[in-house]
């Protein structure tokens, strides 16, 4: 057993909850746990495009080599960054806690679902924690909600999403780093194929849901070429996306511990360049970074796509009178 029922007395906070978690299921590689939920809405720092985030899971089975969120397992006292993708925690009891929290929050503040783990990773098929969150939003109105995912499983909830969109401002962002299946398999070994994600864009757009494509993260010298990004934006537009926007890879120390060995194995000719640029700073700045921003902007304009989802005010409430969230 990786965990037993008696947490070490030295553990506190989320690490203590993680140690208490009971196994939901174990596949050959991946183990699922249930973790007690203390709060559903997490406040972001100022300057972010959303005020609150919701992540129904901890850890993410998609196992992207560049994943920025691996450090979040460290909060639970798990230092092996590889376990981020093999030890998945489904949060318990989300809906009642979320209802309580929403009563105390300003409905004008934007809520982003899926910022640190994918809300439609394989665990969702069984444990439906993201769906339980969406059901809360479907029972209210006047919220600003976005969902970001790499998974076509989002289309399972198309009816629910349509219901939410009718009474809230909702946008869905599908992340597609590349259309190249083989490259995607290397970079995101357990995520759905790019063509399945594009098909999800089409399904959502056809249902009248505002959907965009994010080529995030743009990987220097791997996915950053004009040609690759242009093909992706064109495919996004042709699938009904309304917006397209992306940012460059950033690499925190926990992410570097996985990404650099991956480069050494698969892109050895790039390793030194990445090490030189990312070892001291997680973010790239300067001429190259600016050129990528300009490239994405010009591609977006070329294909008639927006920078982000346009604010959609559903019928039934006035924008100057912020609606109150109401649980029916
Ligand atoms: S889908 Fe997102 S959270 Fe999941 S492994 Fe990939 S980058 Fe990390």
Q: How far is the CA of 118 from the centre of ligand 1 (A)?
A: 6
Nearest-CA residue for ligand 1 atom 7 is 67
| pLDDT above 60 (res 75) | yes
Q: How far is the CA of 49 from the centre of ligand 1 (A)?
A: 19
Q: What's the pLDDT at 78?
A: 74
- Enter the DSSP assignment of 12: -
Q: How far is the CA of 251 from the centre of ligand 1 (A)?
A: 13
Q: What is the mean pLDDT of residues 185-195?
A: 96
Q: What are the helix (H) ranges across the chain?
A: 13-20, 71-74, 94-103, 122-127, 129-138, 158-167, 181-187, 194-206, 226-238, 253-266, 268-278, 287-302
Q: How far is the CA of 59 from the centre of ligand 1 (A)?
A: 8
Q: What is the pTM of this model?
A: 0.87
Q: How far is the CA of 184 from the centre of ligand 1 (A)?
A: 13
Q: What is the mean pLDDT of residues 176-186?
A: 97
Nearest-CA residue for ligand 1 atom 8 is 67
Reported confidence tier of residue 256, pLDDT bands at 50, 70, 90: very high
Pairwise CA distance, residues 256 & 75, whole Å: 17
Pairwise CA distance, residues 56 & 119, whole Å: 6
Q: Is 118 in the pocket of ligand 1 (CB under 6 A)?
A: yes
Pairwise CA distance, residues 39 & 49, whole Å: 21
Q: Is 64 in the pocket of ligand 1 (CB under 6 A)?
A: yes
Give the tens place of pLDDT for each residue, 192-204: 999 999 999 999 9
Nearest-CA residue for ligand 1 atom 3 is 117
Pairwise CA distance, residues 305 & 244, whole Å: 6
Q: Is 60 in the pocket of ligand 1 (CB under 6 A)?
A: yes
Among candidate residues 137, 139, 144, the one with its CA nearest the CA of residue 108: 144
Give the tens place of pLDDT for each residue, 113-137: 999 999 999 999 999 999 999 999 9
Q: How far is the CA of 31 from the centre of ligand 1 (A)?
A: 17
Q: Is 150 in the pocket of ligand 1 (CB under 6 A)?
A: yes
| pLDDT above 80 (res 84) | yes
């Amino acid at each position: 057993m990786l965990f037993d029922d008696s947490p070490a007395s030295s553990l506190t906070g989320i690490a203590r909850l993680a140690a208490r978690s009971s196994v939901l299921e174990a596949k050959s590689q991946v183990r699922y746990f249930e973790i007690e939920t203390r709060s559903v809405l997490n406040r972001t720092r100022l300057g972010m495009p959303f005020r609150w985030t919701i992540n129904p899971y901890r850890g993410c089975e998609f196992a992207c080599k560049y994943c920025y969120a691996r450090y979040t397992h460290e909060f639970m006292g798990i230092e092996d960054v590889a376990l981020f993708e093999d030890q998945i925690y489904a949060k318990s009891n989300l809906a009642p806690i979320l209802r309580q929290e929403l009563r105390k929050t300003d409905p004008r503040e934007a809520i982003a679902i899926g910022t640190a783990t994918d809300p439609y990773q394989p665990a969702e098929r069984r444990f439906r924690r993201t769906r339980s969150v969406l059901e809360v939003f479907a029972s209210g109105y006047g919220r600003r909600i976005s969902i970001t995912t790499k998974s076509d499983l989002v289309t399972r909830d198309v009816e629910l999403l349509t219901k939410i969109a009718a009474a809230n401002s909702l946008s869905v962002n599908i992340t597609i780093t590349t259309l190249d299946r083989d490259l995607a398999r290397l970079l995101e070994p357990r995520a759905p194929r790019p063509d399945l994600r594009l098909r999800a864009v089409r399904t959502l757009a056809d249902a009248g849901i505002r959907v965009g494509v994010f080529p995030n993260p743009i990987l220097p010298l791997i996915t950053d070429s004009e040609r690759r990004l242009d093909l992706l934006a064109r495919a996004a537009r042709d699938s009904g996306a309304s917006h397209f926007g992306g940012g460059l890879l950033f690499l925190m120390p926990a992410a570097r511990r996985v990404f650099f060995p991956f480069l050494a194995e698969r892109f050895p000719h790039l390793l030194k360049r990445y090490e030189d640029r990312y070892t001291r700073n997680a973010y790239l700045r300067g001429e190259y970074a600016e050129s990528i921003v300009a490239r994405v902007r010009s591609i977006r304009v070329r294909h008639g796509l927006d920078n982000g989802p346009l604010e959609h005010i559903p019928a039934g409430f006035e924008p100057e009178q912020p609606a109150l969230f109401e649980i029916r």
